[in-house]
């Protein structure tokens, strides 16, 4: 599933292609999934922003087109067999590709953006000055859930999913199964610092394309961060720090990968 880095890489690639252009049509056959898109037609795209895992097209007239990529959604320059929405812009066509069809669109007036589920319940961005070690510690302390589940809660911090939560916890030396209440102040500070570090490195590498190939960049290049993953998807391989085989566990239905020696 695309996480913050994949959405940010998409935003950076699309921005120069869409900004300033008028939407001539949004062609699709699924009004339940791609909602009220006719209200976006005829408007100009003033800017492309990201909040957590959402892409926000700011449109003329005070409207937004909000896009969530879901499990396998992405934008392409060429039509694919799994194109679900054709973006006909002035002088540019884009294709929303989504084999598994979990991606969603909402066209809403900016003032009603909270009608988009979860959008207004997101916690701070990882680079937000409000995302401090003390803030994170308070959020961890008040929860008996495993620390990995807390980090993936979009209301705590926006944008982390399965891959980058595992990677950040490896960098911080904290085991994903540890309960939030048992995380020390020093560990919370290390986790706080590790999160933007991991995300920045992943953005630089174009995100992470796993073996399933579900994520690709807009120009269909893969995301090379897979080569730099320390623990995610590396069960049984040696820990890059100490050589101990990486272990995998299931926490609340999701897999977690960690080094049993470096992460206590």
| 261 neighbors 245 (Cβ within 8 angstroms) | no
Q: Among all residues, whose Cβ is closest to Zn ion?
A: 239
Residue 232 Cβ, how far from Zn ion at the closest point, in Å? Answer: 14
16 is catalytic: no
How far apart (Å, rounded) are the C-alpha atoms in residues 249 and 177? Answer: 9
Residue 240 Cβ, how far from Zn ion at the closest point, in Å? Answer: 8
- Give the residue with the Cβ less far from Zn ion, 156 or 259: 259
Query: Of 97, 118, 114, whose CA–CA distance to 213 is shortest?
Result: 97
231 is a site residue for Zn ion (CB under 5 A): no
261 is a site residue for Zn ion (CB under 5 A): yes
Residue 143 Cβ, how far from Zn ion at the closest point, in Å? Answer: 26
| 158 neighbors 125 (Cβ within 8 angstroms) | yes
Count of residues that interact with Zn ion, criterion CB under 5 A: 7
- Give the residue with the Cβ less far from Zn ion, 75 or 170: 170
238 is a site residue for Zn ion (CB under 5 A): no
- Binding Zn ion by CB under 5 A: which of 50, 193, 241, 247? 241
| 168 neighbors 160 (Cβ within 8 angstroms) | yes
264 is a site residue for Zn ion (CB under 5 A): no
- Binding Zn ion by CB under 5 A: which of 239, 246, 256, 257? 239
The catalytic residue among 101, 113, 247, 254 is 254
Query: Of 56, 171, 59, 47, whose CA–CA distance to 125 is shortest?
Result: 56
Half-sphere exposure of 5 (CA within 13 A, CB side): 28
Residue 141 Cβ, how far from Zn ion at the closest point, in Å? Answer: 26
- Binding Zn ion by CB under 5 A: which of 112, 221, 242, 252? 242
Stretch that binds Zn ion, among 92-100, 112-120, 183-191, 255-263 (CB under 5 A): 255-263
What's the DSSP call for residue 124? Answer: -
3-class state of residue 10 by DSSP: helix
3 is catalytic: yes
Helix (H) or strand (E) holding 255: strand 254-258
35 is a site residue for Zn ion (CB under 5 A): no
107 is a site residue for Zn ion (CB under 5 A): no
From the number of C-beta atoms within 10 Å of its C-beta (0-12, 13-18, 19+), residue 183 rates as buried
Residue 98: both structure tokens together: 């989504």
Residue 146: both structure tokens together: 């495993």
The catalytic site residues sit at 2-3, 53, 254
Question: Which chain residues interact with Zn ion by CB under 5 A?
Answer: 239, 241-242, 244, 259, 261-262
């Amino acid at each position: 599933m695309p996480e913050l880095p994949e959405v940010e890489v998409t935003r950076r690639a699309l921005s120069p292609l869409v900004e300033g252009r008028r939407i001539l049509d949004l062609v699709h056959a699924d009004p339940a999934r791609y909602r009220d898109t006719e209200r976006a037609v005829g408007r100009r795209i003033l800017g492309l922003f990201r909040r957590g895992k959402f892409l926000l097209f700011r449109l003329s007239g005070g409207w937004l087109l909000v896009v969530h990529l879901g499990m396998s959604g992405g934008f392409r320059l060429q039509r694919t067999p799994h194109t679900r929405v054709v973006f006909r812009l002035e002088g540019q066509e884009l294709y929303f590709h989504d084999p598994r069809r979990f991606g969603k669109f909402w066209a809403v007036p900016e003032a009603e953006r909270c009608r988009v589920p979860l959008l207004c319940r997101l916690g701070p961005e990882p680079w937000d000055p409000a995302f401090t070690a003390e803030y994170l510690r308070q959020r961890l302390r008040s929860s008996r859930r495993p620390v990995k589940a807390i980090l993936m809660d979009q209301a705590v911090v926006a944008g982390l999913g399965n891959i980058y939560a595992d990677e950040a916890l490896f960098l911080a030396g904290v085991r994903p199964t540890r309960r939030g209440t048992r995380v020390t102040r020093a560990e919370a500070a290390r986790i706080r610092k590790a999160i933007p570090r991991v995300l920045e490195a992943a953005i630089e590498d174009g995100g992470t394309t796993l073996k399933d190939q579900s994520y690709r960049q807009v120009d269909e290049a893969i995301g090379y961060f897979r080569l730099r993953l320390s623990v995610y998807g590396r069960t049984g391989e040696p820990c890059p720090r100490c050589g101990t085989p990486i272990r995998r566990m299931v926490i609340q239905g999701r897999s977690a990968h960690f080094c049993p020696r470096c992460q206590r």
